[in-house]
Amino acid sequence: MPDAKTSFEKDIPEKIKADPDKAKEVDAIFLFNITGDGGGTWTVNLKDDLGVTEGDAGNAECTIEVSDENWQEISDNPAQAMQLYFNGELKVTGNAMLATKLQEILS
C-alpha cells in the first residue's frame, strides 16, 4: 500500500511516462490535497504539460481531498474512490465528472 508521497513522486509519474497517450486521454488537471501524516498537495497534469508537481500549480479543473489512509485504499483499489465519495470521506470540487476519468491512470 503506497503512501501519498510514493504515489505522487514515483508511481503516478511512472504510469504517465509509460503511456503518455492514455494520460492525455484524461485531458484534465487535478489538484490532490492529501490530509494526515503522510499527506501533501500535488498537481497532476494530464492535459498539456504531462506530469506531477508538488504543490498547487493554480490551474486545476478538479480538486480531490482525501486522507492519507483513504488514499492508500484508493491506490490499492481505485474503484474504492466512489464508495469513499458517497461516505463523505473523499471530497471533490470543480468538475467532478473529471474525477471519474482518474481510474484510467491510477489502475
pLDDT score, position 76: 86
More confident residue, 107 or 4: 4
The 3-class secondary structure across the chain, one letter per residue, is CCCHHHHHHHHHHHHHHHCHHHHHHHCCEEEEEEECCCCEEEEEECCCCCEEEECCCCCCCEEEEEEHHHHHHHHHCCCHHHHHHHCCCEEEEECHHHHCCCHHHHC
pTM of the model: 0.93
Of all residues in the chain, what percent carry a pLDDT higher than 70?
97
**Complete domains list, the chain, with CATH:** 4-101 (3.30.1050.10)
- How far lies 53's CA from each of 6, 20, 81, 87, 104, in Å? 13, 16, 22, 29, 19
Nearest Cα to Cα of residue 9 among 49, 38, 35:
38
pLDDT score, position 1: 58
Average pLDDT, the chain: 92
Q: How many CB atoms lie within 10 A of CB 77?
A: 11
Give 55-104 pLDDT, tens digit per residue: 999 999 999 999 999 999 998 888 888 899 999 999 999 999 998 888 77
